[in-house]
Structure 1
Amino acid sequence: MTARPSARELIAMTLDDDTFVSWNSPLPALPIEDSYRKELEAARTKTGEDESLVAGEGLLNGSRVAVIVGEFRFLGGSIGVNAATRMVETVRRATAEGLPVLAAPISGGTRMQEGTRAFLQMVKITEAVVAHKAAKLPYLVYLRHPTTGGVFASWGSLGHITVAQTGALVGFLGPKVYRALYGTDFPEGVQTAENLFTHGIVDAVLDAKHLRTMAGEALAIIAASGDYVPPPAEEPTTQIPSSWESIQISRRSGRPGLRSLLRHAATSIVPLSGTGQGESNKSAVVSLATIGGRGTVVVGLDRRAQGEAELGPDALRQARRGMALAAELGLPLITVVDTPGAALSREAEEGGLGGEIARCLAEMLDLPVPTIAVILGEGTGGGALALMPADRVIAARNGWLAPLPPEGASVIMFGDTTHAASMTVEQRVRSQDLLDDGIVHEIVEEWPTADVEPADFCRRVGHAIVRQLAELERQDDGQRRAARTVNYLGLGIDPSGAGDAAHTPESGARPHD
């Protein structure tokens, strides 16, 4: 059976020793029936608590955090008027004092003894949480066993990060109610923390003893502003690969992908899972990460996962979750492009792939935070384009960007794939061409190729991210967003009037300009 620590036990396990300070304020007397009053008195005697929520603040790794923790032994953790008032007062105080909130619900839902009035309390709880998040303050949720009903459907489902207790029953509909209404049991295994993780509803499943580590790491990343100064960019190679050479190199099986980049370039990582709305795709990655001492949200496409999971609309919805998270927390967004292309399938079309590409573009262009796109390797088609409209673009020396794989472009133009190499020259897909055309701002060298020196290469990419972030952070929001728009409006316009004549033909070893 899943362990069920009390509210006070969970607080003691999670916060620094002896730092919890209660915010519980006296509760007003409610006009209630004697039978219900007796139930409340019995619950208070049993638990030592005056309501089903314990609220206050403490230190987590030395930093202040507000906590709101449910107590299941108090009438099943149900939420009535007084419990809801305590929740709202706590969240509002945390907002006013600029504190993150760690909420750990455990509840059968609305307190039936208080009826509709209690049911509607979920609305005001939601309003308080939304206002807290609008202030760019973290709201983390730990769903405990069990969390159901209106609690799950309000403050239990609004976390920037949501994790669930191992083996926990989590769901909207209580299984006892389902059995009573329909005369049969709800399908087994659906309302479990592990199943919700599989479907991208929660970000992780962990025991209560690990909550301290996860919450501490997440809050540290979100708060990290860093003053790390990276080394300057390295001089370019003397021999710049041809476009076709770069494409072949980018497709090597040993080339590091996004997860390798995070492992070597970030000092701390909290991976997130899925869209939060019932979808999860391994080809897309969303993570909080500290890079060069700066807290960031990293969103990207991992080519290594695309053998088992195609880049479909669900992957882009997952990416959009990361974009929204960056905006809500006020963190820089790093997007990573490394994909052979989006899924070509009936499922992708019916799932709205084209619309998801468009929505990614729209959100990237309008994000109120600094944004950096990294072309790590392959950059093919709309799946790559969806993550491109950033303030700054970094490319690996053998990274490239094209509307189609060169073989596909050759088929369209010539009816076969034999012209693939020449198409890469005409379309100016390689990193050097992208730099010359004003699409890329910095190239990260490979010595000689990333698959030969994956760790060092990934660290250099991290240094480039920090260099570009440092420049962006010197601009105010208005300047940065205006420059982003101007940059993309100006693409393809040659102010010299020289047109294509300004470009020297590719020789396969063109010197750096």
Structure 2
Amino acid sequence: MASTPTPSPQQPAPHHLSVSEHRSAAEHLSAAEHLSAADHLSAAELIDVVVDPESFVSWDEPVPDPAGDSTIDAGYRADLVKARARSGRDEAVVTGEGRIRGRRVGVIVSEFAFLAGSIGQAAADRIVAAIERATREGLPLLAGPASGGTRMQEGTLAFLSMVRITAAVRAHRQAGLPYLVYLRHPTTGGVMASWGSLGHMTVAEPGALLGFLGPRVFEALYGRPFPKGVQVAENLFDKGLIDAVVAPAQLPEILDRALGILVPASAAPVPPPATLAVRPATVAAWDSVLISRNPRRPDLRQLLAFGAIDALPLNGTGQGEKDPGLLLALARFGSQSCVVLGHNRRRPSQDNAMGPASLREARRGMRLAEELHLPLLTVIDTSGAALSQEAEEGGLAGEIARSLHDLIGLRAPSVSVLLGQGAGGGALALLPADRTIAAQHAWLSPLPPEGASAIVHRSVDFAPQMSAAQGVHGAALWAAGLVEHVVDERPDAALEPRAFCERMSRAIEFELSRLRVVPLDELLVARVQKYRRLGRT
């Protein structure tokens, strides 16, 4: 996030993972042609880079020497013997545990020098055993695949081993344990289509060839080369399939930050902030609307920069979509970790109104919060959802409905923040939460006041009157019980962005801390009741 402002000297700089450093796919059109396994780290070298010195302990049980095994085809037996000699390994994966900046982590790393990192039954046994051990011992897992896929010499049974590996990953994730993936050059076939694509967070090696079907196989089958630049890490990032492109040397820092958020230490209760005594602004609703539209008003990026201890952005839906209208991140406000999703404030030079892909990305964040047992923070600051043919054909209305459905039943504590503008279905889609914090001049309405005026009066000239009549401003939202916590502006957040964001972050930390001690079933009942009380019955 290159546009993130630099925090003040009084506050430690948050360590945002900058996406400005990622080169475009166009700069890597022939990357796969110039890279080979020899250009990249072996399993042992990657482990040495990532884990703390002398902390790695192998979990591998020895694989029997194939040299004297007459049950194996002679040609394959010879391949296995050569692979052992070439790689110095007895199989295509190395497993064990190590410490990353002091934290215990399970590790599964492919050894590409052993038959192109291909997965046969012995390798699959080793992977499954490692995942299950990490699950039993409550350890996060780092997977570093580099593989051509399943081992052709072992046929269908090797192919089917991807199912049991996936089942083990699923059980690990269902236990609420982080599964982090570092995709290395090359990762293709069944590995990419199973344990290589199931990470809570997935980053990749620069220039890595990543895809389902290897380009050499495609050309052999179809008689023409696969298009250049498609199966390159940077292109996958551009398409929202992976979260970042990271050199091996950067990986320990990224993993440390991710684990610092995903595996938070127990924290003492957060003292009540001064903002609990703040009440809504007494100005007219239209005045708040105008104040909220100031282009200098702090947005979500600044809230993370000035208010969060750390924020690690994620990228896209993981299913081939990304939308500039939404920001998804893992973050820590004071002692409280959370998944953050919120609107990217619309800029005059940008067309980043929230589209349907934004909400599919938001729902990825909701699933992460549930699975990782982290609270969810949603941040609302939008002039309205995208209005276009593409948004309609992409199912925007349905995505708003599904977002509401998921938030009202979210099996995780949730806090929503009304940061500025709150217009229409785009705002409503991120609103339902256990607690709602509002900036003093934030507002919420079915449409921008001008739109409401056009419907009722056939003219936008009555927007000020409509904003008052509709009760869009903080005072009305507070009176209705929708907003429980107000953060003051002195007198306008645009005039004091750093101080405002610091106050907001303390309010967020307090509300997250308060919710973490409430049983989840109680939260779910109270959440529904909160919105039921807004009705007339």
Name the TM tier (shorter chain).
over 0.9
In the alignment, what sits opposite 2:53? 17
CA distance in 1, matches of 2:518, 2:253: 34
Once the two structures are superposed, residues 384-416 of structure 1 have per-residue CA deviations (whole angstroms, 9 ceiling, x without a partner) of 101111000000001000000000000000100
Q: How far apart, CA to CA, are the structure 1 residues paired with 2:176 and 2:193?
A: 22
One-letter identity of the residue aligned with 2:355:
G
> How far off its partner does 1:229 sit?
3.4
Shift of 1:231: 3.0
* In structure 2, C-alpha distance between the alignment counterparts of 1:466 and 1:269, rounded to whole Å: 14
Corresponding residue of 1:355: 398
Which residue is 1:276 aligned to? 318
Q: How does 1:309-458 map to 2 (within 5 A)?
A: 309-458=352-501
CA contact (8 A) 1:246 1:400 kept: yes
The structure-2 alpha-carbon separation of the partners of 1:219 and 1:238, relative to structure 1 and needing over 3 Å to count, comes to closer
**Residue 255 of structure 1: SS of its match in structure 2?**
coil
Any stretches of 5+ residues in structure 2 without a counterpart?
A: 1-33
The offset of 1:272, in angstroms, is 0.1
1:319-356 Cα distance to aligned partner (Å, 9 max, x none): 11001110010000000000000111111111000110
Task: State whether residues 346 and 383 of structure 2, in contact with CA within 8 Å, keep that contact through their aligned partners in structure 1.
Answer: no
**Are residues 1:215 and 2:255 paired?**
yes
Aligned to 1:201: 241
Q: CA 1:160/1:78 → structure 2, altered by over 3 Å: closer, same or farther?
A: same
Across the aligned residues of Structure 1 and Structure 2, the Cα RMSD in angstroms comes to 1.4
1:68-116 per-residue CA deviation (whole Å, 9 max, x = no partner) reads 0001110000010000110000000000000000000000111111111
CA distance in structure 2 between the partners assigned to 1:177 and 1:309 by the alignment: 39
Alignment-derived partner of residue 258 in structure 1: 300
> Quick check: 1:181 aligned with 2:217?
no
Distance change >3 Å, CA 239–CA 101, structure 1 → 2: closer
Residue 267 (structure 2) aligns with: 226
Partner of 1:35: 75
Specify the alignment match of 2:28 in structure 1.
Answer: none
2:284 to 238, 242, 254: 242
What is the match of residue 12 of structure 2? none
- Is residue 161 of structure 2 the alignment partner of residue 121 of structure 1? yes
C-alpha contact 1:119 1:150 (8 A) present in aligned 2: yes
| Percentage of pairs with the same residue | 52
Aligned equivalents of 1:164, 1:319: Cα separation in 2: 22
Q: How far has the Cα of 1:492 moved from its partner?
A: 3.0
Please give the residue correspondences for 1:83-232 in structure 2 after superposition, counting only pairs within 5 Å: 83-224=123-264, 225-227=266-268, 228-229=270-271, 231-232=273-274
Q: C-alpha distance in 1, partners of 2:513/2:99?
A: 30
Measure, in 2, the Cα distance between the counterparts of 1:378 and 1:309.
15
1:302: Cα distance to partner? 1.3
Question: d(CA) in 2 for partners of 1:230 and 1:47?
Answer: 58
Separation (CA, whole Å) in 2 of partners of 1:265 and 1:116: 53
TM normalised by structure 2 equals 0.90
Residues 239 and 291 of structure 1: CA distance in aligned 2, closer, same or farther (over 3 Å): closer
Whether 1:464 aligns to 2:507 is yes
2:111 aligned to 71, 87, 102, which one?
71
Counterpart in 2 of 1:474? 517
Shift of 1:241: 2.0
Within a 5 Å distance, the mapping from 1:288-299 to structure 2 comes to: 288-299=330-341
CA drift at 1:27 = 2.4
1:237 to 1:128, Cα distance in 2 relative to 1, 3 A: closer
User: How far apart are residue 201 of structure 1 and its match?
Assistant: 0.1
CA deviation after TM superposition for structure 1 residue 230, in Å: 5.5
Structure 1 alignment gaps of length 5 or more: 495-513
Partner of 1:504: none
Query: How far apart are residue 237 of structure 1 and its match?
Result: 7.2
The answer on whether the counterparts of 2:240 and 2:322 sit within 8 Å (CA) in structure 1 is: yes
Residue deviations 1:195-222 (CA, integer Å, cap 9, x gap): 0000000000011111111111101111
**Counterpart residue number, 2:14:** none
Instruction: Give yes or no for the alignment of 1:286 onto 2:328.
Output: yes
Please give the per-residue CA displacement for 1:295-320, whole angstroms capped at 9, x wherever unaligned. Answer: 11001111146833221100110111
**Counterparts of 1:132 and 1:238, CA distance in 2:** 45
Pairwise CA distance, 1:235: 4.6
Asked if structure 2 preserves the Cα contact closer than 8 Å seen for 1:88 and 1:124, the reply is yes
Matches within 5 A, 1:42-57: 42-57=82-97
Give the corresponding residue for 2:4.
Answer: none
Q: Distance in 2 between matches of 1:268 and 1:86?
A: 35
Change in Cα spacing, 1:239 to 1:156, as seen in structure 2 (3 Å) is: closer
Name 1:508's counterpart in structure 2.
Answer: none
Would the aligned equivalents of 2:344 and 2:352 in 1 still touch at CA under 8 Å? no
Contact 2:281–2:475 (CA under 8 A) maintained in structure 1 = no
Q: Distance in 1 between matches of 2:256 and 2:299?
A: 27
User: Offset of 1:474 from its aligned partner?
Assistant: 2.8
CA distance in 2, matches of 1:96, 1:408: 56
* Residue 234 of structure 1, CA deviation: 6.2
* Aligned 8 A contact 1:230 1:292 in 2: no
Local SS of the residue matching 2:318: coil
Letter in 2 for 1:298: V
1:106-152 deviation digits (Å, cap 9, x = unpaired): 00111111111111110000000001000000000000000000000
What is the distance in 1 between the residues matched to 2:181 and 2:97? 15
SS of the equivalent of 1:233 reads helix
Going from structure 1 to structure 2, the CA distance change for 1:284 and 1:4 (only over 3 Å counts) comes to same
Structure scoring higher RCO (CA < 8 A, sep ≥ 6) equals: 2
The secondary structure found in structure 1 opposite 2:461 is coil
Change (3 A) 1:334 1:41: same
Distance 1:368 1:71 in 2: 39
The correspondence for 1:26, drawn from 42, 53, 62, is 62
How far the C-alpha of 1:13 sits from its partner, in A, is 0.2
Distance 1:425 1:119, change over 3 A: same
Q: How far apart in 2 are the matches of 1:305 and 1:85?
A: 52
Shift in Å, 1:368:
1.1
The amino acid of 1:125's aligned partner reads I
Q: Distance in 2 between matches of 1:417 and 1:406?
A: 8
* Whole-Å separation in 2 of the counterparts to 1:99 and 1:238: 45
Q: Deviations over 1:175-203 (max 9, x none)?
A: 00111011111001000000000000000
* AA matched with 1:60: I
**Match of residue 505 from structure 1:** none
Query: Which piece of structure 1 moves more, 15-24 or 308-317?
Result: 308-317
